[in-house]
Amino acid sequence: MQQCQQTEEQSVWQHGLSVKKHIFELINYLKTQQISNDWKLPEWILQYRLQILQQLVPEDIIAEYTTYHDCGKPYCIQYDANGKRHFPNHAEFSYKKWLEVGGTEDAAILMKMDMDIHLLKSDGVEEFCKRSQAITLLLTGLSEIISNSKMFGGFDSISFKIKYKHIDKMGKRICKKIFDI
């Protein structure tokens, strides 16, 4: 993971550490309502703060999952004609590799589902919400986007805004479905 570049500036390992740092900053915010200025928080985070905390998987699993969530990328890396990196089916590779090296099954399952929040469509929200890991996946997705924001060009970039808008929209629907019973 240390030798495989996620981007020009960051290895897969460094990306994992960054996502872990960001999710624990977010969890700390949920507990204390204090966070650095390096965040753009959606309204549903504050609205459902306490319910979200209760729905998270244990923190040791979150730490393992977020740190190693892309461990399969070195095994599926491909380069296009322009030399750009692609990691097709990396979530499945990560799941299998993590189990192979003795990682916990709980973290591996989260790795397998890691991209689901980013690809989620409105008609899949109900099914997504049936997962016990739904809220953890949602918060990790938000943490990944914030972690990658500099790579996208900052909070004002089109790329960031598109990704953020999607996670915000899905987050509202997921929280409403799970918590507004």
Which pLDDT value is given to residue 156?
87
Tell me if 57 sits within 8 A of 136, measured CB to CB. yes
Which pLDDT value is given to residue 174?
98
Which pLDDT value is given to residue 6?
75
Residues 6+ apart with CB under 8 A from 60: none
Which pLDDT value is given to residue 181?
66
Residues 6+ apart with CB under 8 A from 86: 77, 78, 79, 80
Q: Could you tell me the two tokens for 47?
A: 């609205």
Low-confidence ranges of the chain (pLDDT < 70): 181
pLDDT in tens, 10-42: 788 999 999 999 999 999 999 999 988 778 899
Percent residues over pLDDT 90 in the chain: 76
By the 10 Å C-beta count (0-12 exposed, 13-18 middle, 19+ buried), 77 is classed as middle
Q: Which SS3 state, helix, strand or coil, does residue 86 take?
A: strand
**What is the pairing mode between strands 78-79 and 85-86?**
antiparallel
Q: Percent helix, strand, coil in the chain (nearest 5)?
A: 65, 5, 30
Which one, of 2, 42, 12, lies nearest residue 111 by Cα? 12
